[in-house]
């Protein structure tokens, strides 16, 4: 069975603070994909990153970085020097298997509030 756990329901930080959003997943497949999506107050789902199970390299994109650790089944997301515009709900998601067309299983999301 697939499962994605985002234990942090809500996080509040002040601008310029660093914040890490946790994601722990469960899967029996050796091939899978992990994703992060941002959902701002306007409601759309904005793709942030995709990582396959064979690539454990950490990735940095501007103020965003991701730490993928298969040993702990975690795919954590860090925002450095947070800004008010980062306020949103962030979803971690998992897709199992080597073929496209399989379902994305989402975590329950973490609501990030950044105040000025």
- Give start and end residues of each alpha helix (H) in 1-116: none
Question: Is residue 102 close enough to count as binding other proteins by CB under 8 A?
Answer: yes
Structure tokens at 12: 């509040």
Q: How far apart are CA 69 and CA 77, in angstroms?
A: 12
Q: How far apart are CA 32 and CA 2, in angstroms?
A: 11
Binding to other proteins (CB under 8 A): which residues in 12-71? 33, 35, 37, 42-45, 47, 50, 52
Question: Is residue 7 close enough to count as binding other proteins by CB under 8 A?
Answer: no
Question: Is residue 105 close enough to count as binding other proteins by CB under 8 A?
Answer: yes
Number of residues this chain uses to bind other proteins (CB under 8 A): 24
Question: Is residue 91 close enough to count as binding other proteins by CB under 8 A?
Answer: yes
49, 61 contact by CB (below 8 A): yes
1, 102 contact by CB (below 8 A): no
In this chain, which of 99, 112, 113, 114 binds other proteins, going by CB under 8 A?
Answer: 99
Cβ nearer to other proteins, comparing 75 with 107: 107
Nearest alpha carbon to residue 82 among 59, 109, 68, 64: 64
> Which residues are at the interface with other proteins (CB under 8 A)?
33, 35, 37, 42-45, 47, 50, 52, 91, 93, 95, 99-109
């Amino acid at each position: 069975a697939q499962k994605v756990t985002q234990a942090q329901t809500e996080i509040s930080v002040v601008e310029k603070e660093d914040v890490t959003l946790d994601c722990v997943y469960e899967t029996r497949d050796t091939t899978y994909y992990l994703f992060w999506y941002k959902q701002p107050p306007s409601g759309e789902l904005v793709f942030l990153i995709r990582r396959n199970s064979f690539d454990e390299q950490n990735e940095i994109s501007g103020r965003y970085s991701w730490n993928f650790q298969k040993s702990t089944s975690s795919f954590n997301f860090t925002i450095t020097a947070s800004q008010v515009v980062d306020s949103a709900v962030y979803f971690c998601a998992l897709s199992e298997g080597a073929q496209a067309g399989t379902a994305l299983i989402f975590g329950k999301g973490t609501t990030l509030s950044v105040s000025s």
